[in-house]
Amino acid sequence: MIDRISDMLAQVCALWRDLTGHELFYWGNGAPSSMLVSTLESTPEGLPAGLLDLAPESADHVESITLQNQIWLAGRIGQPPVHISIASRQTDPTTLSQFKVVIHLLNGLMEDSRRAYQIQASFLPTNLPEIPEFEFGASLLPAHLIGGDYYDIQGVQDRWAIMVGDVAGKGIPAAMLAAMIHATLKSEINHHTKPAELLQRINQLMYAELDRSHTFITTFLAMLQTRPLKLHYASAGHTTTLLWRSAEQQVLQLPSTGLPLGIYPHTTYTEHVVPFHPDDILMLYSDGITEAENAQGRVFGGQALIDLLLAGHPAPIDKQIQLIFSALDLHRGQLPLRDDVILLMVRARGPEIATQVQPFVFTAEKHNVRTLATQVRQVASGLSFSSPAERSAFLNDLELAVSEIATNIVIHAYKDSPYQGRIQGRVSLFPENVQVDLIDSGAAYHSPSGLSPHSSRRDFSPIDPPTSGYGLAIARRLLDTCAYTRLPEGRNHWQLEKSIPHPAGISHPEPGASSDRLRE
């Protein structure tokens, strides 16, 4: 909201300058510094002392005062605690009435702004359906409080309608159009259950308004059916939808099936039917996520979302949403988001196998090796052991193995990259074992020559041991599975697994007898 008002004020300043030849000054009052609207414009004259302390009694009230032999006009817009003072010199009798008009106009715009925010905040769904067949999750992080993005999840007869949309343009007009299409969708959805028909109808209804506003809307609309499990969708130029296919362990991007709304009055849309199986996940998002920039100007990107689906897909949806926002925070650091960020996920529930799945994401920095190792240890401590000694040995060994693999990734994977890479993954707890999956997008891992996975006796003289190269060997000896795979699109996947020792007999695997698999 504040940024929009800055834009408005900047435009009004320009108009005022043209009209009167004077500068219009404005400054924020009584608000935390992060909400201050602007700084003073510097001119040779500056502002006389005494003007800053002026406190007009109410909005629309204009004060006229004389300071240092100059006549000044001052007014206030907005309501305390966040209000803005406006001031200008007066050298012409007509300036006073013009100033009053400007104050009145600005107050009106502030009020509209505030009301539009209230409208928007109320129409976005906060309560998600809780049904046995699907697990829903949604999160909206507004960068500004008004935008042209919208989403909705609605039950219609025996289906669930899910939609995400983006009005081209910014500010109050975009927000108004977003509210309008949302209301239209809500009513039309009862008459048209097929996504393609619905989009066609919406396009017809909204065309005139969109044409008049010289804008368009991209929308993705899916209908989810529970019995049998089915996903129909139509997409008006909206491309930011991903489908995680659990059986294939791959992410599919769902393509657009027609033009955006508002381009032509009679656009037809096609509809796709997509297989949607248990444990598959549909992810809808606004490009505020993928376009988010870090300090170096690099965008978060679509691949990052795919990495995070790979890493977190078995975890509860709300944890996956937290994961994505954590990664976004790591990426942008202190930089604010420029656009609205919408994230909506639906999973077709499948059989629960893991007792607990905890996803994580860290920057691939040395200090995070410890963070990761201790987090894995902490989750694994949920296993049941037959004695404190067994528990202690197991957790120590697991922590050591994870430390070695994480060190390997941190040191080698991003060695030649100018960008700060991330490691994402999950710890999965099962009744009798723990699994750790690590995904990174660094260089491929190549095992050093001379170190065979099954060598149980290193060739070194105790007088002159090697200084390095122990790490992977340690990990392989301590884990029941230590598998590396190079995934498409330049991803590395380490899968580590350690089982509770069986009560009957063996306590520790013999060195070199680990059943690891090394695949390239």
Partner 1 sequence: MQIKSEHTSPHHAVLSPSGRMDVESSPVVRQAILDLVDHGVRYLVVNLVQVEFMDSSGLSALVSGMKALRRSGGMLTICLANAQIRTALRLTMLDRVFPVYESIPAAFEAAEKEQPPEA
Residues that bind partner 1 (CB under 8 A): 366-367, 369-370, 373, 392-393, 396-397, 399-400, 403-404, 407, 410-411, 457-458, 460-468, 470-471, 473-474, 477-478, 511
- 450 or 462: CB nearest partner 1: 462
List the beta bridge partners of residue 285: 343
Residue pair 428/312 in contact (Cβ under 8 Å)? The answer is no
Residue pair 498/434 in contact (Cβ under 8 Å)? The answer is yes
DSSP state of 261: B
* In the complex, least distance from residue 397 CB atom to partner 1, rounded to whole angstroms: 7
- 69 or 467: CB nearest partner 1: 467
* In the complex, least distance from residue 403 CB atom to partner 1, rounded to whole angstroms: 4
* In the complex, least distance from residue 296 CB atom to partner 1, rounded to whole angstroms: 24
- 169 or 512: CB nearest partner 1: 512
* In the complex, least distance from residue 436 CB atom to partner 1, rounded to whole angstroms: 15
Query: DSSP E strands: which ranges in 6-130?
Result: 25-29, 63-67, 70-79, 82-90
List the beta bridge partners of residue 84: 28, 77
* In the complex, least distance from residue 343 CB atom to partner 1, rounded to whole angstroms: 33
- 17 or 415: CB nearest partner 1: 415
Give the H or E element holding residue 330.
helix 317-332
Angle at 512 between CA 390 and CA 414, to 5 degrees: 90
DSSP state of 249: T
Question: First and final CA of the chain: distance in angstroms?
Answer: 51
- 61 or 508: CB nearest partner 1: 508
DSSP H helical ranges for 69-194? 94-123, 171-188
Q: Give the SS3 label for residue 491.
A: strand
- 122 or 467: CB nearest partner 1: 467
* In the complex, least distance from residue 449 CB atom to partner 1, rounded to whole angstroms: 18
Q: Give the SS3 label for residue 132.
A: coil
* In the complex, least distance from residue 418 CB atom to partner 1, rounded to whole angstroms: 21
* In the complex, least distance from residue 366 CB atom to partner 1, rounded to whole angstroms: 4
- 403 or 424: CB nearest partner 1: 403
Residue with tokens 């006009």: 73
DSSP state of 311: H
Q: Judging by beta carbons within 10 Å of its beta carbon (0-12, 13-18, 19+), is residue 48 exposed, middle or buried? A: middle
